Structures are given as C-alpha cells and as structure tokens.
C-alpha cells in the first residue's frame, strides 16, 4: 500500500497533464490506482478475518481498559473508515 501510494503521488503525478502518458512497469496511473485499490481491499478483508478469528482477544482487550475508552476507540475507528464514503464529490 505504501509503495503504490507513493508511486501514485510522486512518480505518476495527478492532474490534467501531470501523469499523462507516464508508465511504470507497464502500467499507467490508472492501472496503478486500480492495483492500489484492490490491494487495499485485500488488506481490509484480511484485517476483518484476523479480528474475527481473534474476537475473544479483541473483546478482552476492549473490556480490560476503561469500558468507555474502548467504545470510543471502536467508534473512532469506524468513523475513520466510513466518513470517506459520506463525503461529497465535486468537480
């Protein structure tokens, strides 16, 4: 994720003509963007699977710290993940 993100920002710059025609390892900016997206999806699925497999530990960890703090941390993590889906898109 870090490598493809840095490549998208610094090696294949965005903009109307910024990355036009540039290729890296045979892929354009859009190809690398797709690759970055699918790797992100895979990582998200793996994190959810990991948390599901270790759910008893997650519960104990949340309950072992102050109960309110655990719920706040969980809500903040959900907000960070869901807020981008609620933001408006404009041109």
**Total structural domains in the chain?**
2
49 within domain boundaries: no
Same domain, 22 and 59: no
pLDDT tens string, the chain, 91 residues long: the values are 888 888 888 888 776 565 567 888 888 888 888 999 999 999 989 999 998 999 998 888 777 766 677 778 788 888 887 887 777 766 5
Model pTM score: 0.62
Q: Do 33 and 70 have their domain in common?
A: no
Where do we find the tokens 């270790």?
A: 54
Helix segments in the chain, DSSP class H: 2-6, 29-53, 55-64, 67-86
Q: Which range of residues forms the domain containing residue 84?
A: 54-91
Same domain, 31 and 58: no
- Residue 47: inside a domain: no
> What angle do the packed helices 55-64 and 29-53 form, to 10 degrees?
80
Instruction: Answer yes or no: do 3 and 24 share one domain.
Output: yes
């Amino acid at each position: 994720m870090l490598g493809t993100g840095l490549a998208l920002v610094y090696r294949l710059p965005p903009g109307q003509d910024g990355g036009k025609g540039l290729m890296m390892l045979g892929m354009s900016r859009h190809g690398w963007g797709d690759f970055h997206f699918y790797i992100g999806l895979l990582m998200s699925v793996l994190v959810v699977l990991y948390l599901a497999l270790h759910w008893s530990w997650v519960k104990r960890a949340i309950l072992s710290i102050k109960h309110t703090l655990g719920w706040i941390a969980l809500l903040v993590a959900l907000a960070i993940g869901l807020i981008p889906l609620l933001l408006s898109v404009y041109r």
